Structure 1
Amino acid sequence: MKSLSLTLLLSALASPALAQDLVPQTFRINDLKTNGDACPQGSTTINISEDKEAFTVNFSQFYVQKGPGAEPGDKRKFCRAVFDTEQDANWEYAVLAVNVRGFVQLDDKVVATQELQFGTRGIEYTAQKQFWGPTVEDYVHGEQIAFGNGRWSGCKPKAADRVKDFVVKSTASLTGGGKNASGLMTVDSIDGALVQSYELVWRQCGDKKAKFLATCQVTGNNGRTVFVKGMGRDESRANQKAYQHLQERCAKVGPNFGACDQSLAQCSVMKF
């Protein structure tokens, strides 16, 4: 079975020297626990990127299917993953967007529904996407959270207080089309992962220096949208980081998305 990946992306500058005061020096994932038929024990792993701008949760058995040969319980699956995020004292982050990639193959009138709930203090946000057959595609779609609505993980001076449960609940289901109609929602064919990429913004408590947040989006075919963000001490560096993230995301979209590059991006910059 291919892997299903959950990637959480944290915004910072491209240069490590420039990024030093925009992201914490230390960021850890601890004590992963999972339950649900989509993520049996031992099938989930987590990796943190070298620049601390991403961590990826890999689910190796997350899929749903219906049709001849499928089991009744395969039409709907669920996973709940809980893990601790720990960073340096007086640092906190907020989720500002999520991009989801995967693969779907549906017969006529079959509907695939994907629901994602997540948060740092229980469930705070919900994102849902539906696909209607007939279709066969590697897909990507994004959901954005307004900066003012993002909930910060909290600044605490003690290590024990800085560890927060990050909760992710993922559900996928297939309906419609009749009992003989087939459907499949699973990992994509680009890198063998169903990817949930969370765009985050960091801030250091008490930091009074100006910071800029660049937000970009590209909309492809069928309303599919990719959202990215970047941080910098000035507008130029924030845009530079957002464009770097966009290039990384666009490299992973399938041909069904359509054109995906910097020239098509709609971007804005704010000071915070």
Structure 2
Amino acid sequence: MDYKTKGNDRAHPWTLGLYAVFLLVTSSVHAGIIVMPDDPDEGPDPSTVSIKSIAYAGTGCPAGTVSESLAPDAKAFTLLFDSYVVEAGPGVPLRESRKNCQLAVDLRFPQGWSFTIVDVDYRGYASIDRGATGTQKTNYYFQGQRVGPSLQTTMRGPFDDDYHIRDKLGVDAVVYSPCGLSRALNLNTQIRVQARGSSQALMTIDSIDGELTHVYGLKWRRCR
């Protein structure tokens, strides 16, 4: 797990905008002298990939608080959440310490291709006292399948800064979308904090551009 922080020289809002960028991981080679042939599993033509719809529900994403966009090269799609914040400490109701958002992403692409999630980057802001923890978790599966692999990371206090964390899914754990069928990608996301005694914990969104990002790496392969 890669763990990075950035300097924090501004006030952090106590509201949350969750900015999730789902990055399609492809392989390409750029050489000055030798040009390698294209990888046959690099991915479909970007002009043929689109987001048909996104449905969502949960305590961290009330109606009207999520928006999305697809990058022109079809190698990333972005979700923006603006009501996803967790807090724990004296006087804070227990329900505020844990939020979730379940999403169904209908990604359209040509037949003959399949994709999977391989990693996730978390970026945001956390203020966690000594003895307290903050956890982010995502699991995914395709419509009609059982709940699949999980990606999870836990931060331990003391910590008060922006952060960048990457979790990678093991090769043996990946699950590809079914070939020849149109199935939504279901994402179950959760953020929670735990604090003991007089300690406090907050996880919110305030990275370099004032937003927290989730970057889900996707890998394409041709159906055989």
TM-score, with normalisation over the residues of structure 1? Answer: 0.66
1:23 partner letter: G
Does residue 10 of the first structure (1) align with residue 10 of the second (2)?
no
**1:172 corresponding residue in structure 2:** 191
Note closer, same or farther for the CA distance 1:71–1:146 as it changes in structure 2 (3 Å cut).
closer
Alignment of 1:95-110 (within 5 A): 95-110=117-132
Greater Cα shift, 139-148 or 127-136: 139-148
Kept in 2: contact 1:2–1:192 (CA 8 A): no
Q: Deviations over 1:20-65 (max 9, x none)?
A: 9732121122231111110000101111111111111111111101
Distance in 2 of aligned mates of 1:106 and 1:202? 37
Distance in 2 of aligned mates of 1:148 and 1:134? 34
Kept in 1: contact 2:151–2:168 (CA 8 A): no
Does residue 47 of the first structure (1) align with residue 69 of the second (2)?
yes
Note closer, same or farther for the CA distance 1:149–1:78 as it changes in structure 2 (3 Å cut).
closer
From 125, 129, 146, give the equivalent of 2:170.
146
Kept in 1: contact 2:195–2:201 (CA 8 A): no
Note closer, same or farther for the CA distance 1:33–1:122 as it changes in structure 2 (3 Å cut).
farther
**1:22 corresponding residue in structure 2:** 42
Aligned-CA RMSD value: 2.5
Kept in 1: contact 2:105–2:185 (CA 8 A): yes
**2:8 corresponding residue in structure 1:** none
Distance in 2 of aligned mates of 1:28 and 1:189? 27
Q: Deviations over 1:120-158 (max 9, x none)?
A: 2452111222122221121122222233442221221xx
Q: Deviations over 1:61-116 (max 9, x none)?
A: 11101236644421111111112121111111122222222211012222212221
Work out the number of aligned pairs and report it.
199
1:134 partner letter: P
Distance in 2 of aligned mates of 1:109 and 1:97? 28
Deviation of 1:193 (Å): 2.3
SS at 2:95 equivalent: helix
Q: Percent identity?
A: 27
**Structure 1: which 4+ aligned runs deviate by more than 6 Å?**
none
Note closer, same or farther for the CA distance 1:175–1:118 as it changes in structure 2 (3 Å cut).
same
Kept in 2: contact 1:83–1:167 (CA 8 A): yes
**2:213 corresponding residue in structure 1:** 195
SS at 1:164 equivalent: coil
Does residue 56 of the first structure (1) align with residue 78 of the second (2)?
yes
List gaps (5 residues or longer) in structure 2.
Answer: 1-14, 31-37
